Structure 1
């Protein structure tokens, strides 16, 4: 599917960057077990959550205004929302930290 609307393109960029940075921070924390990386990750989750909420509100508004592009809007909204369960999963990994006994 080709993305036509600029707000949807920007939302996908934000969602992708949020996912990639979160994944890198998780991996770096699991490797280093550093409290500084943990603090940076916590700060990142707060900032990324606020940014993604703002993007989500913009997407909902755009979907209402430009309802003729419902399929594109719905796809973009779903892809942005996918970051929520990923963040919850990463948080569960940090809390349970399966690598703590090895380092």
Structure 2
């Protein structure tokens, strides 16, 4: 999987590296400042109750969901179903790009 060198962007897929949700994937739904973002996955962490995370505790992937990004920029919100769909699409794309069992175990977890 390709990691992004720049800071996180709205709609970008991230992997949580520190905290209770370590290893889980989520999507950046709001930039707070240069240190913090709000993330959600539409399942455990819903859009209306996002998690505030230090960007140093996240691994940012070079993958931005245009559906989530456009929805957030146009209306200021996104459905939990769309977040789940975008993460599922990311998983499919990652599975196609990597060999089975390489960096992904198929359960919305990263290593």
State the structure with more CA Rg.
1
TM-score when scaled to structure 2? 0.31
Structure with greater strand share of residues: 2
TM-score when scaled to structure 1? 0.33
Structure with greater helix share of residues: 1
